[in-house]
Amino acid sequence: MLNAPAATEPNDGLLERYGSCKAMARGYAQARANERTRLSLARAFTAVVLEAFWASLVERYDARMKIRPVPLQLPAFSREAKAVAVSAGRLIAEFPVDHAGYLIGSIYTVMLPDAHRTSMGAYYTPPPLVARLISQAQDAGFNIATDSAIDPACGGGAFLAPLASRMAEAWAGQSPELILGRLARRLKGIELDPFAAWMTTVLVEAAVLPICVAAKRRMPNVVEVSDTLQRRDVSNYGLVIGNPPYGRVQLSAEQRQYFSRSLYGHANLYGLFMDWGLRHVRDGGVLAFVTPTSFLGGQYFKSLRRLLCLDGSPVSLDFVADRDGVFDDVLQETILFVHSIGRNDRASNVSRVLTRGLGGADVAPIATTRVSDDGSPWLLPRSSSDAELLENVRSMPNRLIDVGYAVSTGPLVWNRHREQLRTKKNRNTYPLIWSESVTASGFSFSAERRNHVPFLEVYPNQDHLITTEPCVLVQRTTSKEQNRRVLAALLPRPFLDEHGGVVVENHLNVVRPLPDAPVSPGTIAALLNTSVVDRLFRCISGSVAVSAFELNAVPLPALGKLRELERLVESGASLALIDRRVAGWYGVSWEN
């Protein structure tokens, strides 16, 4: 094989220069193009970046291979912008070749129109997370020297290029011709976006360019332009890996039928890719994906959780500690999920991974835990103290329904009843309870935010909108800035009696007592507002949303303890005392 000077490891100076190029690319796209033309401009600009990267690379290896032609007709753009693109491409060639897919892909995505980026779910995976996920897949049983691998949403080659490099290293000593042939048989990518597929093809070849030069042959194309979710003809692989797109999607009747085993309600793209992956991993193989954490606890994923445990078992789950700044414009909690097909052990290793720029990642093991196989939310620790807490709650069988409470979403979708909104109280109007009325100090009727009004006129046959009994209100959507994820307040009897009832808007959960509930709503509100329950809920859900389904999954103390809590509440005990007492029932000490 041909040896050549290696690219330098990224340093602050390189990264700063790259950041400037990326910022200029984003600014150019925003200033020069509208939503209709930004896609073609993003592709044209990125094509020049990749061409300049390729030219620098072949010059380093003293080769004459031309870059594969772009499969699309792309527009021309200004010389000034082209100079920036060329500079960016040459700069990226100074980074390790395995970083190129992320660096070029990130420029591409920041230039895309927002609607296109959202619909395609285009977010490129940083190299340290790629390396970690591949290593975890190998630990789970994927053999880099003998197994095959597929990325069903291969984007800019973030996984395929490093896999090609690692496979080639595993076959060191074999002829270059044999290595290229084995890569062609054992590596595959599928991508819906033809431009991203072209990027992947170029970047995979760049990753093994010395082998191509030595063999005097091109790297065979291993990427197909296709809609993965429509494919029924793909072979089984030892590894299905990638960062699939995410977001709600409308399915055809045929698609819904095909994926019915993993669906409950709305379909999310990444959940469909997980189902597809399970269908195309051989027995004993590995599924390894970067995904949001919503599938761990959300109601819409309960069939998928059940399916995952039917077909195998999670091996490792790494929570990404610093998602803001890791994935451009993504604030959802993210996980590296590795799943072994045919494995029945429910023990899963949970860790927290913190990237250090592009150079590496620090991994902090948290615990080995077990996940449920009945579709209920997976309670997973985010810290070592969480691990102790979750071990303690395994013996707590009670949930809200077991202590006489049902959880539902507030019945009013306000923008469907605009004509009924009122600024003043009159006949047949009721206070309209928005999420802003639930505060850290309890219930405080308020309608000060934009588009909020204080009253709703209830028309005949709309009595289902009216709440007349005390209940607990819980915010459904919190913000990153809030200290608490679960924020609850008692809707008090005096306020209800004063107004004859209220209407609750659907950004609130309503926790209602069933007949003969053994403890009062005030007791349930006090319990939900404790620090330990908030921490426990964060082990169920990593998003800012607080769903009724996930609230129903929170383990609760025994009924005798809840009656003791009721006595504390009735005696006017301080919040700090209640916090400490409830934490003790969960077997932990808790500091506010």
Q: What is the DSSP letter of 212?
A: H
> With bands split at pLDDT 50, 70 and 90, how would you rate the model's confidence at 251?
very high
Instruction: Compute the average pLDDT of residues 446-466.
Output: 95
Residues 6+ apart with CB under 8 A from 481: none
Output the pLDDT for position 4.
42
Helix H or strand E encompassing 187: strand 187-191
> With bands split at pLDDT 50, 70 and 90, how would you rate the model's confidence at 30?
confident
Domains and CATH numbers, the chain: 119-380 (3.40.50.150), 400-585 (3.90.220.10)
What residue type is 143 in one-letter code? Answer: N
Output the pLDDT for position 592.
46
380 in helix, strand or coil? coil
Question: How far are the Cα atoms of 5, 351, 431, 462, 530 from residue 383, in angstroms, in the given order?
Answer: 42, 8, 42, 47, 18
Write out pLDDT tens, residues 134-157: 999 999 999 999 999 999 999 889
Q: What is the CA radius of gyration of the chain?
A: 27
pLDDT exceeds cutoff 60 at 547 = yes
Specify the range with the lowest mean pLDDT, choosing from 217-221, 254-258, 510-514, 544-548: 544-548
Write out pLDDT tens, residues 83-94: 999 999 999 999
Instruction: Compute the average pLDDT of residues 240-263.
Output: 95
C-alpha–C-alpha distance, residues 13 and 15, integer Å: 5
Specify the range with the lowest mean pLDDT, choosing from 200-214, 298-312, 479-493: 479-493
| Phi, psi (rounded to 5 degrees) for 284 | 90, -5
Output the pLDDT for position 359.
77
Output the pLDDT for position 323.
46
Percent with pLDDT over 90 in the chain: 80
Contact 3, 60 (CB under 8 A): no
Percent with pLDDT over 70 in the chain: 94
C-alpha–C-alpha distance, residues 79 and 66, integer Å: 22
Residues 6+ apart with CB under 8 A from 162: 98, 127, 130, 131, 134, 207
Q: Is 74 exposed, middle or buried (0-12, 13-18, 19+ CB in 10 A)?
A: middle
pLDDT exceeds cutoff 90 at 326 = no
Specify the range with the lowest mean pLDDT, choosing from 38-47, 284-293, 341-350, 545-554: 341-350
What residue type is 552 in one-letter code? Answer: N
> With bands split at pLDDT 50, 70 and 90, how would you rate the model's confidence at 117?
low
Output the pLDDT for position 590.
62
Query: Mean pLDDT over all residues of the chain?
Result: 91
C-alpha–C-alpha distance, residues 180 and 159, integer Å: 17
Half-sphere exposure of 300 (CA within 13 A, CB side): 15
Question: How far are the Cα atoms of 155, 223, 359, 375 from residue 131, in angstroms, in the given order?
Answer: 17, 21, 11, 30
Output the pLDDT for position 32.
78
> With bands split at pLDDT 50, 70 and 90, how would you rate the model's confidence at 114?
confident
Output the pLDDT for position 265.
92
pLDDT exceeds cutoff 70 at 8 = no
Output the pLDDT for position 328.
45
Q: What is the total residue count of the chain?
A: 592
Beta strand extents in 226-373 (DSSP E only)? 237-242, 248-249, 267-268, 281-292, 312-320, 334-341, 347-356, 360-370
Write out pLDDT tens, residues 381-435: 998 889 989 999 988 999 999 999 999 999 999 999 999 999 999 989 999 999 9
More confident site: 113 or 550: 550
Instruction: Compute the average pLDDT of residues 196-221.
Output: 96
Instruction: Compute the average pLDDT of residues 221-228.
Output: 97
Helix H or strand E encompassing 503: strand 502-504
> With bands split at pLDDT 50, 70 and 90, how would you rate the model's confidence at 9?
low
C-alpha–C-alpha distance, residues 256 and 323, integer Å: 31
C-alpha–C-alpha distance, residues 36 and 18, integer Å: 27
pLDDT exceeds cutoff 80 at 123 = no
421 in helix, strand or coil? strand
Residues 6+ apart with CB under 8 A from 59: none
β-pairing verdict for 405-409 and 455-457: unpaired
Tokens encoding 328:
């451009």
C-alpha–C-alpha distance, residues 116 and 106, integer Å: 15
